[in-house]
Chain A
Amino acid sequence: MYCFTEVLYHGKNHLISCNSAEKIMFSQHNPLFSVDGSLSSRSQEFLCIFLCACTSIICCSSDCHCVTFFLNLHQHSFYYFFYCLQENRQFGSKMTDSKYFTTTKKGEIFELKAELNSDKKEKKKEAVKKVIASMTVGKDVSALFPDVVNCMQTDNLELKKLVYLYLMNYAKSQPDMAIMAVNTFVKDCEDPNPLIRALAVRTMGCIRVDKITEYLCEPLRKCLKDEDPYVRKTAAVCVAKLHDINAQLVEDQGFLDTLKDLISDSNPMVVANAVAALSEIAESHPNSNLMDLNPQTMNKLLTALNECTEWGQIFILDCLANYTPRDDRESQSICERVTPRLSHANSAVVLSAVKVLMKFMEMLPKDLDYYGTLLKKLAPPLVTLLSAEPELQYVALRNINLIVQRRPEILKHEMKVFYVKYNDPIYVKLEKLDIMIRLASQANIAQVLAELKEYATEVDVDFVRKAVRAIGRCAIKVEQSAERCVSTLLDLIQTKVNYVVQEAIVVIKDIFRKYPNKYESVIATLCENLDSLDEPEARAAMIWIVGEYAERIDNADELLESFLEGFHDESTQVQLQLLTAIVKLFLKKPTETQELVQQVLSLATQDSDNPDLRDRGYIYWRLLSTDPVAAKEVVLAEKPLISEETDLIEPTLLEELICHIGTLASVYHKPPSAFVEGNHGVQHKGLPGSAGSAESESPDAVSAGAATEAPAAVIPSQGDLLGDLLNLDLTPPATTGPLPHSGGMQMGAMDLLGGGLDSLLGGDLGGSPAMGAGFGAPPAAMPPAFSAPVSGSLYDLFDLDNGVGMPLGSFCPPKTVWLPAMKAKGLEISGTFVRHAGVIQMEMTITNKAMSVMTGFAIQFNRNSFGLAPAGPIQVPSPLSPNQNIEVSLPLNTVGPVMKMEPLNNLQVAFKNNIDVFYFSCQYPISVLFAEDGKMERQVFLATWKDIPNENESQFQIKDCHLNSDAASNKLQSINIFTIAERTVDGQDMLYQSMKLTNGIWALAELKVQAGNPNYTVSLKCRAPEVSQCVFQSYEAVLKN
């Protein structure tokens, strides 16, 4: 022992102090690590512990000197060194990363700081590793930021990666410090090693600090065009990251276009990542039309699909699902190319492929051979999904549930795979059960019932309940099996297991509703179990049965009376049921039960706080006292039969969900817009129509519908913008006489006209007599210089031939769906705006897609840019019965309150019916606001044109318009855009036009039409340049119509 310590004493670099052989202190240049250990006198143990101490130091500090020193001097103890490594686990397995978690008594951060600033590379790396380890467990080590960043400039890739890991986590909290890292990043982006280039651009994108993102643009642009595909694919994802941080920057820098170009990249991995990045960006910008899918890109995607990684395949397949094929042939060819994905080992790929196939199948004619083949091919992969891990099974089952509802034929022979294994997790069991019921048919009902009966004896109470309920649903679904189901239920009731009996009674009630007067013989058995019922639902069901069949149950009055004793302790459900049942009993056996009915009526009306109960009580009371015959008709009316449809998903929702197979929406069976946060304007996906129906629609209508679909966004129900709307009460506005026009104007004009108003008030109006005449706010004042006679050449310009025809009837854009039924509890509104003879009309089609009638319609607008408001209450002949639709025309005026909207022609509407209040927003074509007196004098026009500064001029292109200038002029006049002058220069017809908005804003236009060129150019000048965009849209809409 002495010799051993002697040697240690003489080690050059190490000072080891031995305090009376009880404590060993290890120290180096800087105090790094110390071990306190009680040593026994036995040298063996001493050695052991000492070696352990050494190992921890070696591992923690990685001080090469120490190791070499140690290994050189003590060959015999070298074995011990390894022995300790293997055996002395009680000191913590020091060779592993868990050592990074060990803390010492001194400040940990302080020590790490010292190590990070060490000039030894290894020590630095170990220190960074410790920092990362602390980070993983959620410890805050952000204080070390400058020290860690200092380690960044290194050629050691591992150290670099570790520092980057740290940076990503903490850069946000230390933005100023993070800037220090920028230089290294930019330098690394130029590194000859593609791995480092990619790593740099990737990490930079993860640092969510504005200052850094500014520097990111240039390196990113280079990397997007890098020669190495690995770098390109990393850069593609980086665009998505950057978009998440600063969307505007990405758009300004043109990265989106570069990203779109990457879809045509030669490397499939790059394509897949570009698609993934674009989809993610598109999700946050639903209207940006990023994924412009056309047959060419489809082809590229389908080619890349075969060659890219499994994850890339998922992104590409999800993207393919958004495409709408032109015809059934294209649809079939896509299906053929997607089908091989069904054999992929990754279940997510399989399910995404199923989604694409389910969607495109809709377009295939049913009699096609291929259709049948495809159906057959879909079943095996779905079945295979069920042999995977339970979590995968769950998601698969939720989706299969949808598929089975849409196309039961696919899995109709696969009932057995849905049989429940006793050790399946409960969430899998319940889903399987649900699908079993959906697949139940006359052919397999016997097996299904045997299975369900088996499940009813399982341990898990929830599952047993659901199994019993399932038997009832089978009875309702498969008529031939009803009798067998009832007898199975009776068997189960005989088991006397409490919760089984209660569930059985609840479902038997439903069976009675479905098959009246068929199984009433079992009532006696049910009544035997009356006392054991303690759940409200079961009690209510039993009471309903007693009331409904009171004439067949001898002691019905006694039974009901027994329930009445604890009336106030019952739940509302039971109380209501009891009230009804006793009234029924009274109507059937009036003589014996008068007392009973009086008792229950007084309990319900006088002693109850529940308004529902009181109301129902009063209704019965009045009915019975005024007209017992009517009462009989009401209370004992024949009830509609219930059907299995009740638990099916509504068809419109189902169609949308089919388009979302494999997503969260399909797991929750809710449309994505209903729950995914930040997804305000999710585009509704619908299944493409089958080949037949698509042809019947005219192509024009389809394209026009598609073009105008976007504005029909439903206002998210919690948006701040709704502030005003929510405060409005929804009674139709009383027509309070026209608001002072100028008052309404001023608000709008402030925004819209801006500085124009000042010049207008102070301007010299003298020169233009026409301008002052018609309206209060002429937009242009003619500078004196132009009031002088215009030169000859200008007269030339106004050489109008008088061939302008009369308007051909006003333009009416097609109706679009403003409020889908799914969002509004079955109320669907589609509509459009039209101006007719100077009156703006809101034309709506209101459809009731709910199960019940709708009444009490009212409409209200939020404040909007042009003060649009209903001129009177909406006239809807209510009630509107289910599946009925009506056309409503609501005249509007422009004297409502004004508030600038974004976009300008946005209109937020609140619509009320007896069910609820719904909010939606729509956009009206600004052309409905073009006044009939919008024709300007030529000279005024000329002067105004020159007077409006050039900044206010905007140019637009109208593509693919095949009208000559006369026809165009005529069309435009139909929406009150008047042609003032026309001239021809170099084969180009120039039309000079004017229009006036209802609030007095003038817009002037120059329309260039070149013979043989389908592209028109419109130049718009207006004092309020904000309106230009909307005006242009009107041009486009009317010219293309």
Chain B
Amino acid sequence: MIHSLFLINASGDIFLEKHWKSVVSRSVCDYFFEAQERATEPENVPPVIPTPHHYLISVLRHRIFFVAVIQSEVPPLFVIEFLHRVVDTFQDYFGVCTEAAIKDNVVVVYELLEEMLDNGFPLATESNILKELIKPPTILRTMVNTITGSTNVGEQLPTGQLSVVPWRRTGVKYTNNEAYFDVVEEIDAIIDKSGSTITAEIQGVIDACVKLTGMPDLTLSFMNPRLLDDVSFHPCVRFKRWEAERILSFIPPDGNFRLLSYHVSSQNLVAIPVYVKHNISFREGSSQGRFDLTLGPKQTMGKAVESVLVSSQLPRGVLNANLSASQGTYTFDPVTKLLSWDVGKINPQKLPSLKGTMSLQAGASKPDENPTINIQFKIQQMAISGLKVNRLDMYGEKYKPFKGIKYMTKAGKFQVRT
């Protein structure tokens, strides 16, 4: 099981260590640093690193490496999942997960880590339960605690910990009872030079914010549940009913949680909401290259494409880019060769474009590689897969809750090859 945890910042300092069994010397991280040196980018450090006596399993989040040390055969996914859960918990508690935030709350961090893992076995990782055990720090609470001498550690066994619905605490009370659901879809796509789709898939999630009194039992049904290829549920969802009736039936946790994540695969036809016309070319023997990019909406069902951001890693030989944007602003970093263009909203009447020249090193040969264009965007009020929630019903409680559903489509890894 998980032996120890080291947190390492971007400059390679170990700024926190926690041991759940015997103490492992921090020199074990030297193997990690070696691997880090070998990898050109921090992202490329392999997640599993063997050392003579241990294995180091790491994740990189918020530019911090979370390195777990294990000694025996442990499912690596279990470790990685756990590490991500640790990061999520920190974020939940401190708002951000940065070195400064962790150092500022080091005692809470330590208490949390101790509560989450016992002898390498996960103990409590549900945010609801943790928050009952250790109250998140706020300026006000810190003040009050300092003055009154009370603690931020719960004295009682969390109610939910051992019940049949461990995710929900008992005795929840609200004056406004409300349940909101956000259907958020991300399109991952690779579009080739000619504009045809090589692969496209949709990762969707339904995030919920449920603030309901008592023990409500909810059912959520879809207009078109057959769309979903693969679904992963929050533990609260009753799997049998989904199998039989394609209905989500559940007693929700209190507060924010992810009800469901789903996948619509490349087997189905996925609508691509934007197109790109591009012409990025270099001529042999010339130190100039042409750059011409136009964006346009397609298959958006009349909804506006917003928050568009285009970025591209230009070839190493490019010295500078002299471009003009019809809307928005562009920046080019001559060191990293990263071109990014903040477009904003696409106006279908007047398509945004970015045109101009790129200057190459004098006498350098034509670059070999073709830059890939990465696009980010958002479309409100639409789920690109066509998924629609039919209705939401509540049983078990008498009051009438306020219900709301929001749809949004975003670009995930949306790449256009040139």
A interface list, Cβ under 8 A from B:
58-59, 62, 64, 67, 85, 93, 95-98, 100-101, 121-122, 125, 129, 132-133, 136-138, 156-159, 161-162, 165, 168-169, 172, 193-195, 202, 205-206, 208, 228-230, 234, 237-238, 240-241, 244, 267, 269, 273, 276-277, 280, 283-284, 307, 309-311, 314, 318, 340, 343-348, 350-352, 380-381, 383-384, 387, 389-392, 394-396, 413-414, 416-417, 419, 421-423, 425-427, 447, 451, 454, 457-459, 495, 497, 662-665, 667-668, 672, 675-679
Contacts and interface: CB of A to CB of B under 8 A. Distances in A.
Contacts of B203: 387
Closest 4 CB pairs between A and B? A380-B230, A96-B104, A158-B151, A158-B153
A679 B72 CA distance: 8
B392 to A, nearest CB: 21
Given A133-B107, A345-B232, A161 B77 contact: no
The size bracket of the interface on B is: 35 or more
A237 B46 CA distance: 31
Interface stretch (B161-169, B172-180, B301-309): B161-169
Given A121-B149, A392-B81, A395-B47, A137 B16 contact: yes
28 contacts: A64-B149, A97-B107, A97-B108, A122-B149, A129-B107, A136-B17, A159-B151, A205-B119, A237-B119, A240-B119, A283-B73, A309-B125, A311-B125, A343-B242, A344-B235, A347-B77, A380-B229, A384-B261, A391-B60, A416-B199, A425-B43, A426-B44, A427-B46, A495-B368, A663-B73, A667-B48, A668-B50, A678-B71
A64 B144 CA distance: 12
B403 interface: no
Interface stretch (B51-59, B277-285, B345-353, B378-386): B51-59
A392 B77 contact: yes
A284 B412 CA distance: 44
A240 to B, nearest CB: 7
A421 B230 contact: no
Q: Is the interface of B mostly helix, strand, loop or mixed?
A: mixed
Given A98-B103, A237-B121, A348-B78, 12 more contacts: A97-B106, A169-B23, A172-B23, A195-B155, A206-B119, A273-B121, A340-B243, A417-B265, A419-B190, A423-B413, A664-B55, A679-B72
B155 A413 contact: no
B14 interface: yes
B63 interface: no
Contact of B80 (A391, A668, A678): A391
A427 to B, nearest CB: 5
Contact of B22 (A172, A228, A352, A422): A172
B76 A676 contact: no
B198 interface: yes
A395 B41 CA distance: 20
B110 interface: yes
Q: Is the interface of A mostly helix, strand, loop or mixed?
A: helix
B233 A343 contact: yes
A59 B104 contact: no
Contacts of B313: 422, 459
A294 to B, nearest CB: 24
Contact of A59 (B14, B146, B155): B146
A318 B78 CA distance: 11
Interface in B84-137: 84, 100, 103-111, 114, 118-119, 121-123, 125-126
Interface stretch (B212-220, B325-333, B369-377): B369-377
Contacts of B60: 391
A44 to B, nearest CB: 24
Contact of A311 (B78, B84, B413, B415): B78
A234 B118 contact: yes
Contacts of B164: 307
B76 A395 contact: yes
Contacts of A156: 151
B369 A457 contact: yes
Contacts of A64: 147, 149
Nearest to B166: A309
B26 A132 contact: no
A454 B263 contact: no
A465 to B, nearest CB: 14
Nearest to A194: B157
A816 B382 CA distance: 65
A419 B18 contact: no
Contact of A138 (B14, B107, B265): B14
A458 B369 contact: yes
Contacts of A457: 368-370
Contacts of A672: 73
Contacts of A394: 46-48
B221 to A, nearest CB: 17
A427 B198 CA distance: 22
Nearest to B186: A387
A197 to B, nearest CB: 10
